Amino acid sequence: MSTTLFTPYTLRSLTIPHRVWMAAMCQYSAAPDGAAAGAPTDWHFAHLAARATGGAGLIVTEATAVSPEGRISPYDLGIFNDTQVAAFRRITSFLKAQGAVPAIQLAHAGRKASTERTWVDHGRQIAPDEPHGWRPVGPSALPFSSASTVPEELTGEQIDGIVRQFADAARRALDAGFQVAEVHGAHGYLIHQFLSPHSNHRTDAYGGSFEGRIRFALEVVDAVRAVWPEELPVFFRISATDWLTENPADDREGWTSQDTVRFAKELQAHGVDLMDVTTGGNVPDATIEVGPGYQVPFAERIRNETGMPVGAVGLITDPHQAQSILTGGGADAVLLGRELLRDPYWPRHAAAELGGRVSSPVQYHLA
Ligand SMILES: Cc1cc2nc3c(=O)[nH]c(=O)nc-3n(C[C@H](O)[C@H](O)[C@H](O)COP(=O)(O)O)c2cc1C
């Protein structure tokens, strides 16, 4: 079934006003330590509020860590204490007042934690003994790249602890006013590290076979779903491929789009309502063929083969392109990243061009 951009979308009991959404984008702008560490600041308020007044139908916060060690950089947002909850509440209530649905991306960076902000030293990893650094964890003691810190291999007990942190984070997110919880299972962060045979060399119940490698992700989803209300949706962000097995010139084994389809069916059975479909991020030297809408075929395949709702993301920049992704059956919604940084009013401009409607602040009606 196809649809158009400016039609509402209902998942469970939540109606999202239209299908142009903002993708999660780290701002690396929280305090790294002190009482307000990890809490949204004026920057986050202004940044997210601008996209709400710009007309985005749903706004996903940047990767928001479930624990201090789960932050990518020391400057990431977190949702592991009540100071953070109070600061988020101000943002969610503003977004809702503008008609935008606030969604939170719950994340743990795993072996890719403890980095500089992207604009400092190209986001290099901070060594555990440097100021603001810590030793990252992962499914196996395998570094992301030859320049990366070797992570500590998680014990079964530590895995249980992280699953509980996701549940606590979801509970806090609900208290903070979020209406969608998105589990970050993509871009080479902890959940993706468990999924992929490239980064998961475990020999216990959390590794080896497909069933073993997806176990941690399913436990996280179950923990989040158990505290997230029945009437509200849970999204899962997936990297549909590591870009290894699909590349005939690369003989390394990775997570594949075939795995993704199989896994999506599991996620659906575990109460996930929508797959937010991206790719890559787990293998620094994988060859990725990038171009306009290059990840849409992965979203479309999940949609076709599982019937599951999907969001498409990646180099979607033009209103007609976005519309044709939906009318062509490629996705149920589009998520925009960088284009919304360039133009917060993109949803409104697209609606004007395509003849759709996006509600605007009453204060701006004379314009
Ligand atoms: C500044 C920046 C920060 C990002 N941070 C995140 C993040 O926190 N979580 C995530 O899943 N993806 C993150 N991404 C990826 C985007 O969500 C999106 O998938 C990607 O930018 C491709 O979409 P685009 O071509 O519309 O920008 C980030 C991208 C940018 C540009």
Give 367's pLDDT tier (boundaries 50, 70, 90).
confident
**Residues lining ligand 1, judged by CB closer than 6 Å?**
23-26, 62-63, 105, 184, 186-187, 237, 278, 313-316, 336-339
Give 1's pLDDT tier (boundaries 50, 70, 90).
low
Joined together, the tokens standing for residue 61 give 């916060």
Model confidence pLDDT, tens digit, residues 209-233: 999 999 999 999 999 999 999 999 9
Model confidence pLDDT, tens digit, residues 198-210: 999 999 999 999 9
Active-site annotation holds for 189? yes
Mean local confidence (pLDDT), 101-128: 98
Name which residue leads in pLDDT, 25 or 248: 25
- Would you say residue 245 has pLDDT above 90? no
Mean local confidence (pLDDT), 241-247: 92
* Domains of the chain with bracketed CATH: 4-364 (3.20.20.70)
Instruction: Return the pLDDT at 88.
Output: 98
Percentage, residues of the chain above pLDDT 70: 99
Mean local confidence (pLDDT), 124-143: 97
- Scan for tokens 């849970």, then name that residue: 234
Give 10's pLDDT tier (boundaries 50, 70, 90).
very high
Q: Which long-range contacts (CB under 8 A, 24 or more apart) does 303-306 make?
A: 303/329, 303/330, 303/331, 303/332, 304/329, 305/261, 305/264, 306/261, 306/264, 306/265, 306/268
Give 2's pLDDT tier (boundaries 50, 70, 90).
low
The whole-model pTM stands at 0.98
Instruction: Return the pLDDT at 32.
Output: 97
Distance 336 CA to ligand 1 centre (A): 8
Model confidence pLDDT, tens digit, residues 74-87: 999 999 999 999 99
| Ligand 1, atom 21, residue with closest C-alpha | 337
Mean pLDDT of the residues in the chain: 97
Instruction: Return the pLDDT at 359.
Output: 86
Instruction: Return the pLDDT at 31.
Output: 98
Pocket test for ligand 1, best of 20, 26, 192, 277 (most atoms within 8 A of CB): 26
Instruction: Return the pLDDT at 161.
Output: 98
- Would you say residue 138 has pLDDT above 60? yes
Point out the catalytic residue in the list 9, 28, 75, 189: 189
Which atom number of ligand 1 is nearest to the Cα of residue 278? 19
Give 22's pLDDT tier (boundaries 50, 70, 90).
very high
Helix (H, G, I), strand (E, B) or coil at 198: coil
For 270-333, the DSSP string reads TT--EEEEE---S-TT------TTTTHHHHHHHHHHH---EEEESS---HHHHHHHHHTTS-SE
Mean local confidence (pLDDT), 338-365: 94
- Would you say residue 339 has pLDDT above 80? yes
Joined together, the tokens standing for residue 57 give 């139908």
Instruction: Return the pLDDT at 153.
Output: 98
Instruction: Return the pLDDT at 246.
Output: 81
